[in-house]
Amino acid sequence: MNKKISNLQQNKIIGLKKYTHMERAELLRTVIVPMLRKELGKNLIAIAADGSYARNEDSDYSDLELMIFVRDNSTLPRGFSKISDGMLIEGFFLTEKEYHTMIHEPNEEWYIAGSDRLLPLMNHAFIHRLKKYRAKRLAQKCDMIAHDMLSQVQESFGKLFNTIEQDNRENLFPILSDALMCVLKQLAYINRRPYKSLNSIMTEAKTFKQRPRGFDEFLNLVTKGEYHNLAVLKKCAQQLFLGIEDFFMEKYSSKIYDDDLSSIGEKTRTKKRR
């Protein structure tokens, strides 16, 4: 009897394959767009690609991301995620108002979603009109989120300092990554500029005009992989945390933390991370 040869034995991956930009374009033109037109009918308003494909920066293993605008999405799922012949294809069903709220208005995901660039695939006029939207009071909204994120930064650096004090090297990397990511997110709001892509987030952060004291040194330590020296890591982390506090003290005077325990029953703007 012939034994079935596993993918591992063949050294063959089936869920992740190389594709060119032109191959993705052909799939959109001949399969995906016609299918969405047929399935959604008159409920469909427009279709656009975003992400690396829309920027013409997609590489071999890039996914394909779609924004699908509908009149009513109450009976539709939030979106879909399919792996078709080794290519990840994701789509979101949303209304025009939801798109502006999710992408253009500062929120917890704006640090990366705010730079969304749509490539029209259907109804070009609608997509071009979407691009003209400008959030009101963008600076104030970004400043508020950046300030509110101090609690997240404090939490992540507290975990980092605990990990260092306990000499917990086995779990250092994810804790360190979380602390760095918190600061990177906060920097986007401080500078009122979202990142273009996660693939370039640290490179882009270096170009921000407003960077707290100690950020460059901390980032270099991480990117060069020199964080295994815990004494040096602790010193760099302390300098960065002090730099963040100094930045907000200069902006908001000396009181930057909400320490009023009598108001803990009131509604707050942010939720504690799990």
Sheet holding 44-50, edge to edge: 79-84, 87-94, 64-70, 44-50, 119-122
Q: Tell me, what's the pLDDT at 274? A: 43
Structure tokens at 235: 């010193």
* pLDDT number for residue 125: 97
Kindly report the pTM of this predicted structure.
0.86
User: What pLDDT does 241 receive?
Assistant: 98
Which pLDDT does position 2 carry in this prediction? 55
Looking up tokens 């799922």 gives: 77
Domain count, the chain: 2
Q: Are 119 and 53 in contact (CB under 8 A)?
A: yes
Asked if 176 and 183 count as a contact pair (C-beta separation under 8 A), the reply is no
Domain membership of residue 10 (yes or no) is: no
Same domain, 75 and 142: no
> Any bridge partners for residue 92, and if so which?
67, 79
- Which CATH number goes with the domain that contains 254? 1.20.120.330
26 and 55 both lie in a single domain: yes
Helices (H), 77-149: 96-99, 110-113, 124-131, 138-148
159/257 same-domain check:
yes
83 and 48 assigned to the same domain? yes
Task: Copy the structure tokens of residue 198.
Answer: 């996660």
Does 142 share its domain with 258?
Answer: yes
pLDDT value of residue 5? 60
84 and 176 within one domain: no
Sign of CA dihedral 47, 52, 57, 61: negative
Do both 161 and 252 map to the same domain?
yes
Q: Are residues 161 and 259 part of one domain?
A: yes
Question: Does residue 274 sit within a domain?
Answer: no
CA atoms within 13 A on the CB side of 251: 16
Can you give the pLDDT at residue 44?
98
Out of 92, 107, 131, a domain closes at 131
Contact 48, 66 (CB under 8 A): yes
27 and 124 in a single domain? The answer is yes
**The domain that contains 101 carries what CATH number?**
3.30.460.10
For residues 94 and 180, membership in a common domain is answered with no
Name, in order, each residue with C-beta under 8 angstroms of 116's C-beta and a sequence gap of 6 or more. 50, 103
247 and 159 housed in the same domain? yes
> What local confidence, expressed as pLDDT, does residue 175 receive?
98
Rounded Cα gap, residues 50 and 116, in angstroms: 7
- pLDDT < 50 stretches in the chain: 1, 270-274
243 in a domain, yes or no?
yes
pLDDT at 267: 60
Please answer whether residues 58 and 18 qualify as being in contact, where contact means their C-beta atoms are separated by less than 8 angstroms: no
Domain that residue 111 falls in: 21-131
